[in-house]
Structure 1
Amino acid sequence: MTVSFSNPRTMPRRAGYSQICEVTAGKLVLIAGQVPHDVNDKLVGEGDFAAQVEQVFRNLAAALEAAGGSFRNLVKINNYCVASVTQEQRTAFQKVRDRYVDTASPPVSTFIFVSRLAQPGWLFEMDAMAVIDG
């Protein structure tokens, strides 16, 4: 295996992501920030955090497929969410994420609240890294 995920006993155990990802071989794929726009560049889910998260994951799926991979190749995600989204609304992220990623060996992850994103109406953005066997 070229990628292994771990959660050492010497580190906090958090649900939903791994603490460490080790890559020993493969093609590294860096995916730009994915936003809640569809293939026609139309905003999806204006004011609806869950709908925007779903669209971002759809866009990420398309990017992974275009690079020759899938969600099983995902090793790192960085999530950016506007500060107006509540903790209760954020649970939508976890539900959507868990439908797409391997919850037994989830990618390493960072979740950041920001004052705003680049475009008005965006509530969520995600960039990612994948390793695809070459």
Structure 2
Amino acid sequence: MTLECINPNDLPIPEMYTQVVIATGSKLVFVSGQQPEDIHGKLVGRGDFTAQARLAFGNLGRALAAAGARPKEVCKITIYVVDYNRDEHVPIIEQAQMALFGDHKPANVVVGVAVMSPGYLIEVDAIAVIDHTTDS
């Protein structure tokens, strides 16, 4: 599997994501939105965006692993945030994202939403491309 990450010269170079990702591999992995829930489906961190972001990205990592995908094979994520405020939320999202992806920067979008399930503040989904036959 290979990911070619491109930041075109005529677009700004983002810090936490890549403008264009070209993925080549043999399997597509689509991970449903991961929420800040424990193994029993119970919300963790009610009212605490930082705790919820960490757990949502942690759950994303566990879902990827279950599919045999590595974080570096993720080509796109979507982050849904209740009552999104760039100044408040972006630094927390960046920390949680870096904890999972390190210096890998998949294409991403942050979507502000009015409401999810009561108490839920963030959800993250992903698309990965894997080809472990070549183990690149």
1:63-90: CA deviations, max 9, x gaps?
Answer: 1111112211111000010116562243
CA separation of 1:102 and 1:6: change in aligned 2, threshold 3 A: farther
Q: Deviations over 1:7-29 (max 9, x none)?
A: 11121211100000102222110
SS in 1 for 2:125: strand
| 1:5–1:86 Cα change, 3 Å | closer
1:1-134 residue pairs with structure 2 within 5 A?
2-83=2-83, 87-103=87-103, 105-117=104-116, 119-134=117-132
Tell me how far apart the structure 2 counterparts of residues 17 and 73 of structure 1 sit (CA, whole Å): 14
Note the C-alpha offset of 1:6. 1.1
**2:37–2:43 Cα contact (<8 Å) kept:** yes
Q: SS of the counterpart of 1:47?
A: coil
Write the letter of the residue equivalent to 1:116: V
Aligned residues: 132
Percent of aligned positions with the same letter in both sequences? 37
What is the root-mean-square deviation of aligned Cα atoms in Å?
1.6
Which runs of 5 or more residues in structure 2 are unaligned? none
TM-score w.r.t. the length of structure 1 is 0.90
Q: Is the 8 A contact 1:49 1:85 kept in 2?
A: no
SS in 1 for 2:8: coil
